[in-house]
Chains A and B, each alone.
Chain A
Amino acid sequence: MNTPNAALPTHVAISTHAGSGFMWAARDTMAMVWRNLTVVRRVPQLLVFALVQPLIFVFMFRYVFGGAIPSGAAGLPYVDYLMPGIFVQTVTFGAINTAVGLAEDKNKGLLERLKSLPMSRSAVLGGRVLADTTRNVFVVTMMLFVGFLVGFNTHTNALKVAAGVGLMVLFGFAICWIFALIGLSVTNGEAAQAAAFPLLAPLTFASNAFVPPDTMPDWLRWWAERQPLSITVRGVRALMLGTEPMDYVWGSIAWSLAITAVLAPLAVRRFRNG
């Protein structure tokens, strides 16, 4: 018996849907975000470990060193000064995930397959960075509650606190692009991890995140007062505590946009040619 609906002949390619380049770039990016977040759901330990490190920092600075550190925010307890620094450090460290994820995909040959597909070239990196940004929103929200548990108080309104979260997540997004470039430039996840720390240390520790830079030697203070992470921490303090001028909010946004504008095209170019 002949069935009229025989299977498609296998040598005819399925016609692909038409659509604008931008629409496909957006859909491909969402598909990659879905993939990256599915991996997070499938290996939840990674998320738990992502919280362990900031928790240790909260414990150390709130309870071990905290008593000996003068609060940099006039009239406010040290914990209020500290927590915005912890938040920004957390989103910055979250960007390591971008480097490790891409390096592992490269090492395992997954990037090779993706490059052979008719997908948008920017979607592999865009999907990675957006997934890591989503993860950052989750982790920072958890850390905000941890902050409240250890006595952190905001001194503005809910809208400004939310804007503060937005500001640091935007900063994290920009840092992810730096780490995307690193991830594509090394051979595997361990190398990405190793390459990350020398970059993160001067950014997070030589800053105003944990202590006021007043007591640092001049050369270090020069850096600690001007570098983008410090500007972002002051922006978050402006929004959550009201102790800093709002200029720092705009300064942080400018830094984040500038970093993204330079690093995102570099990373995409590296992906295309690497």
Chain B
Amino acid sequence: MTETAILAEDLRKTYGDVVAVDRISLAVPRATVLGLLGANGAGKTTMVRMLTTVLKPDSGKGTVNGFDVQHQQQAVRRSIGLAGQYAAVDENLTGRENLVLVGRLTHIGKAAARQRADELLDQFHLTDAGNRPVRTYSGGMRRRLDLGAALVTHPPVLFLDEPTTGLDPASRLDLWEVIETLVADGTTVLLTTQYLEEADRLADNIVVIDKGLIAAEGTAKQLKSRLGDTVIEFELASPQIAVVAAELLGGTVAAGTIVRLVMSNGPSTLREALNRLSSADVVPAHVALREPTLDDVFLTLTGNSGANS
């Protein structure tokens, strides 16, 4: 077995004139989590689709569990589970029927499919709802079932495409714990997310993609330290003043009236910044000093405020 569970080399996919993924390479060591971070349309889902054999790359190479995604598709499919916003369950079938169907279609045999369905319903606390049509499920229950459907064959590699988008905080925490357990047991996970907090908590390594290209990669800690030690935020009276202040300070407008500066020497920069603002007669309503978050990384790299945009 190779130590790299997922490998992408210069993968590229275009739709007509639109470049969805423009040469992305990445490697995910076995039993680790890679967080693929990006705004909507950055190319995250296209990457997942190519690596799960759902979509053919225009060029480049992908290897999952040692198998080529273009030339050994069935072997790749036997190695993976796919769950998330775009992989769905059938609303008119019951939870149990959905799991049994996936089991039958992955050729584990009818009896084994039934047994595995019961195990998964139990594991995801869906036993009581197992015989109800999925259309009666809550959002959190659907996602749990969806993840369960991806786990029918105990796949060594799991692709989770925005697994917690649209979930309430409690359901999100619940799902995070499930994912952590899977990784502790040796599963390799490629996770796409818009939630920086999610990548921060789950991912061993993070790849930030923007417009189909890699903008940055590293551990959450590395990415944050690349920026500097301190973030200074000024809240200003109006968005117009915020634009002026951002120009004065060489910072970025984070959200409306907030101007953000990332620095390695906080206190002296703060004094300098306040001097510049007062010389231009700009008085901030509020000033805050804090440690950088992944959100700051994301904003600095892509000019988008990822999570909350």
Task: Say whether A associates with B.
Answer: yes
Cβ–Cβ < 8 Å partners of A112 in chain B: 49, 54, 82, 86-88
Q: Does B149 contact A (CB under 8 A)?
A: yes
Could you tell me if A16 and B78 are in contact, using CB atoms closer than 8 angstroms? Answer: yes
Q: How far is the CB of A194 from chain B (nearest CB, A)?
A: 22
Residues of A within 8 A of B112 (CB): 14
Of all chain A residues, the one with the shortest Cβ separation from B116 is A14
Chain B residues within 8 Å of A31, by CB:
101, 104-105
Task: Decide if B32 is an interface residue (CB 8 Å cutoff).
Answer: no
B85 within 8 A of A: yes
Q: Is the CB of A113 within 8 A of B88?
A: yes
- With A11-B185, A16-B153 in contact, is A116–B77 under 8 Å at CB? yes
Is A217 engaged at the interface, CB distance under 8 Å to the other chain? no
A261 at the interface (CB under 8 A from B): no
Q: Cα distance A117–B102 when bound, in Å?
A: 8
Which of the candidate stretches B16-24, B89-97, B241-249, B256-264 sits at the interface with the other chain?
B89-97
A116–B54 contact, CB under 8 A? yes
Which of A37-45, A63-71, A200-208 touches B? A37-45
Interface pair A17/B87, CB less than 8 Å apart: no
Asked if A118 is an interface residue, CB under 8 A from chain B, the answer is: yes
Identify A116's interface contact among B52, B89, B93, CB under 8 A.
B52
B17 to chain A, nearest CB (A): 19
Of B74, B102, B185, the residue contacting A10 (CB under 8 A) is B185
**B107 contacts which chain A residues (CB < 8 A)?**
16-17, 19, 24, 27, 118-119
Pair count A-B, CB < 8 A = 108
In chain A, residues 108-132, which have Cβ atoms closer than 8 Å to a Cβ of chain B?
A: 108-110, 112-119, 123
Which of A10, A24, A28 is in CB contact (< 8 Å) with B187?
A: A10
Nearest-Cβ distance from residue B15 to partner chain A, whole angstroms: 12
Interface residues on A, range: 20 to 34
Q: Give, as a whole number of angstroms, the nearest-CB distance from B199 to chain A.
A: 23
Give the docked Cα–Cα distance between A140 and B118 (Å): 39
Known: A14-B112, A17-B108, A31-B104. A109 touches B86 (CB 8 A): yes
Q: How many chain B residues touch A (Cβ–Cβ < 8 Å)?
A: 43
By the criterion CB–CB under 8 Å, are B101 and A35 in contact?
A: yes
A56 within 8 A of B: no
Q: Which residue of B lies closest to A24 (CB)?
A: B107
Closest to A11 in B: B186
B193 CB-CB contact with A under 8 Å: no
Residues of B within 8 A of A32 (CB): 105
Interface string of A2-33 (1 = CB under 8 A from B): 00000011111110110100001001100110
* Contact yes or no, B154 A109, CB < 8 A: no
Q: B27 on the interface (CB 8 Å rule)? A: no
- Picked from A9, A13, A28, A109, the residue with its CB within 8 Å of the CB of B78 is A13
Contact between B88 and A11 (Cβ–Cβ < 8 Å)? no
- The CA-CA distance from A210 to B192 in the complex, in Å, is 56
A113 and B186 contacting across the interface, CB-CB below 8 Å = no
Kindly list chain B residues whose C-beta atoms are within 8 Å of the C-beta of A38: 92-93, 97
Cα–Cα, bound, A8→B151 (Å): 13
Residue of A nearest to B146 (CB): A113
Task: Give every chain A residue within 8 A of B187 (Cβ-Cβ).
Answer: 10-11
Interface string of B22-55 (1 = CB under 8 A from A): 0000000001000000000000000001001110
Given the complex, which residues of B lie within 8 Å of A11, measured CB to CB?
Answer: 31, 154, 156, 185-187
Which residues of the other chain, B, contact A10 by a CB distance below 8 angstroms?
A: 154, 182, 185-187
A115 to B90 alpha-carbon distance, docked (Å) = 15
Across the interface, A9 reaches (CB within 8 A) one of B82, B85, B102, B185, namely B185
Ordered by A's residue number, 14 sampled pairs between the chains whose C-beta atoms are within 8 Å are: A9-B185, A10-B154, A10-B186, A11-B156, A13-B78, A27-B104, A34-B101, A35-B90, A112-B82, A113-B89, A115-B52, A116-B54, A116-B80, A118-B106
Sorted nearest first, the 3 A-B pairs with minimum C-beta distance are A11-B186, A109-B88, A118-B77
